[in-house]
Each structure stands twice: as structure tokens, then as C-alpha cells.
Chains A and B, each alone.
Chain A
């Protein structure tokens, strides 16, 4: 399996700040990139996906993709305590549908 790397954290930000989560991947043939949020003891929930270089915005979330640098990031604006969770970066390779996950970054938003 190809590798997907994330800083495990925890990343601590104050309420209202921007949280920046980063992810790098090793397979240049990767086509699709996903961010999942996972609360403790719960299942992963898809929050963002991006296929093309550049930025994609959805509400308070912005996903950024740079295929040349093999880098994906997720920005969360106006962070809320309810955003506190583990954020999993996932990459879909060129062939097949299997998602390869990073180890996740734990985000803590402090009131």
C-alpha cells in the first residue's frame, strides 16, 4: 500500500481561529483526495473531497490540493469546540477504489 502521512497532533487552536491540517502522499498516480472527520468512538464521516489542483471551499472548510508537491490540506475557519475530532486524510489511487488513510490528526478547539 502507498503511504499517506499526517502529523498525529494534537493540534490545539483557540475557538474562532483557523485550523490548518496537512497531509502528504507518496503515490503520484493518486486521483482523488478526501478528508474524513472521526469523533472518538464513532465512524469516519466524509466532510470534503477534492480532485483538481487548487482550492475547494464548502462552508467553513477549504481543501487545498497541490499534486506537484503531493500535498493536501484542510483549513477550518472560525473553529468551534464541536470541530474537536480526529481528521483523516485519505487518498484514492489511480487503479481501483481503495482508499488509503493517513493516521489522522487530532484537533482540539479550546473555548
Chain B
């Protein structure tokens, strides 16, 4: 299955620790998006990346959160000094190319982050 792969599926951290979430896009896809979903809420856009380039990070909190998509390897969403309010499901999506109508995003299974 060449779908969007995310790991870990579940991640438990204590307050103040760091969380690293990984996402490998679908084969042939070069664009990655990160979304956060709180319980009973919709998906909130965080960041959009291409290889080695952040395209749009307008949804990322200004502090503690960072994302990268290196030339080799998965995209990483990094949360430093986690707080209880960071507890959420984090979904990664990928798409094939940029540009207008017709582009579809496919989602991974998500990482459920729990901060104790």
C-alpha cells in the first residue's frame, strides 16, 4: 500500500517534553500538509511543505512548533516543550503537484498525541 504513512500512531509525552511526528507522502507526491484536529472539531491547517521548502506556515503557532520536509526522508512535525493543549490528532496529507483545480489531498492515519 503506497498510501500516506504516519508514525507513530499514538504518542504519549509529559509536559515539557518534545514530540516528533513523521509523515511519508504517497509515492509520487511531493507536497505535504499538516493538519491538527481537536476532539469534536474540524481539521485546522498548520503548514504546507515541498521538499526542502516551507510554502505556507500560516496555521502554525509561532512558538514551539516547527516542520520540515528534507530532501531525503519523511516530513517531520516537531513540537517542543509540549503542553496539555497540544493533545490532539495530527494528520498529514500529501498531493502530487501544485496548481489550481483538480488537486486532491490524501490523508494518513494520523498521530494521536496525548500530553500528560
- Give 3 closest A-B pairs by Cβ, nearest first: A103-B42, A101-B43, A31-B101
> Given A32-B101, A32-B103, A43 and B110 touching (CB < 8 A)?
yes
**Residues of chain A at the chain B interface (Cβ within 8 Å):** 1, 6, 31-32, 34, 36, 42-46, 49, 51, 88, 90, 92, 94, 96-104
- Partner of A88 from B42, B95, B98, B101 at Cβ < 8 Å: B42
Asked if B42 and A101 make an inter-chain contact with CB atoms under 8 angstroms apart, the answer reads yes
Bound form: Cα–Cα A70–B109 in Å: 31
Could you tell me the distance in whole angstroms from the C-beta of B33 to the nearest C-beta in chain A? 7
Chain A residues contacting B102 (CB-CB under 8 Å) are 32, 51
Chain B residues contacting A94 (CB-CB under 8 Å) are 100
Could you tell me the distance in whole angstroms from the C-beta of B1 to the nearest C-beta in chain A? 13
Which of B52-60, B64-72, B77-85 is the interface stretch? B52-60
Q: How many residues of B contact A (CB 8 A)?
A: 29
Could you tell me the distance in whole angstroms from the C-beta of B21 to the nearest C-beta in chain A? 14
Bound form: Cα–Cα A42–B110 in Å: 8
**Which residue of B is nearest A52, CB measured?**
B101
Bound form: Cα–Cα A94–B100 in Å: 6
Bound form: Cα–Cα A96–B33 in Å: 12
Asked if B33 and A104 make an inter-chain contact with CB atoms under 8 angstroms apart, the answer reads no
Within 8 A of A (CB), among B34-57: 35, 41-45, 48, 55-56
